Amino acid sequence: MVTEEGDSVGTVRARDSASRGQWEDELVAVVRAVSGGLLFGVPLLYTMELWWVGEHTDAPQMLLILALLAVVLIVLNLTAGFRSTQDVRLRDAAADSVKALAIGIVVSATVLWMLRVVTVETSAFSAMGKIVNESVPFCLGIGVARFLLSGRPGLSDEKDEGGASASGSGTRPLNASVAELGATVLGAAFVGLSIAPTDEIPMLTSSMDPPWLVVVVVTSLVASYAIVFVAGFARQGDRHEQEGIFQTPGVETIVTYLASLVVAAFLLWLFQRDVWPASNLLDQMIVLGFPATIGGAAGRLAL
């Protein structure tokens, strides 16, 4: 027999669970947006000309950039977007565009701060110019996050879970580990190749002391984990359950980060960058390792 009190407790629990579900869903959507922005925006973050453009962007130009971005984001949200399901109604697309714009600005500001391009000594208006210019690729990345992170624009979380277990169950652990490592190296090399020969790496490194480099390491690890194990719904359920040499989420994130650092070191050597003594090499590996890690995460998603 179900009492009235029991009924009421059950209803409250069900409501709590549904409430937790909606918050979790929204958090995952935001993480996915951040991940899409990072995948698309990071290569342009290491472009000093874009920082300089921000120094002399005036107020009407900044507002025009934001307005144009909002329009483009509405169109992208109607076709791709950062949610697991597509926005059909214009008001949903408009609401998601406001979120995409704000998330893009916050993420680009955070990464510019992490790279010491924007500091407390930068004037507010100058910092805003840099952030608004850098947020363009970030926002576009957020607008196509579903496509970037699933590989197919029409794929949703629900569809993926069914397909994932079918495709993943037959893979041998060693082969899976080698494939993940290979994809990481390829992805890291793909992104790192265009950044390693530039002067931005030594320039950024020169403004960072050891504690700041630790911040870069931690951010790289968090970004890699978020892209592959939180935001990427391509085979995500399968990824959490895979068996292999390093295929628990935490270990995989660390091992693939180390692989990205090795790729960064190789690229710095390949382009004959001035990296000696060893402490200088380590510093530059860490700074180049951030985009390389994000490229590596994208490589693993493509598997």
Partner 1 sequence: MRSEGTLAESVTLALCAAVLAVVVGVILFLGPDKDDPPAPVASTEAVEQVGDEFHVTVVVRNTGGRTAANVQVNAELVVDGETTAGDQTVDFLAPGNEASLAFVFADDPSSGDLTVGVSGFLNP
Residues lying near partner 1 in the complex (CB under 8 A) are found at: 19, 22-23, 25-27, 30, 52, 55-56, 58-59, 62-63, 66, 83, 85-89, 92, 95, 98-99, 101-103, 105-106, 121-126, 128-129, 132
Cα separation, 29 vs 141, in Å, equals 14
Single-letter amino acid, residue 101: L
- Tokens 């879970």: give the residue: 161
Cβ distance to partner 1 smaller for residue 4 or 56: 56
Cα separation, 83 vs 143, in Å, equals 10
Q: How far is the CB of 49 from partner 1 (least distance, A)?
A: 10
- Tokens at 284, concatenated: 């530059």
- Tokens 């960058």: give the residue: 273
Cβ distance to partner 1 smaller for residue 52 or 269: 52
Cβ distance to partner 1 smaller for residue 15 or 172: 15
Cβ distance to partner 1 smaller for residue 97 or 224: 97
Single-letter amino acid, residue 212: W
The answer to whether residues 268 and 292 touch, using CB atoms and an 8 Å cutoff, is no
Q: How far is the CB of 120 from partner 1 (least distance, A)?
A: 12
Cβ distance to partner 1 smaller for residue 123 or 272: 123
Q: How far is the CB of 163 from partner 1 (least distance, A)?
A: 21
Q: How far is the CB of 55 from partner 1 (least distance, A)?
A: 4
Q: How far is the CB of 31 from partner 1 (least distance, A)?
A: 12
Beta-carbon contacts of residue 212 (< 8 Å; ≥ 6 apart): 116
- Tokens 């893009």: give the residue: 104
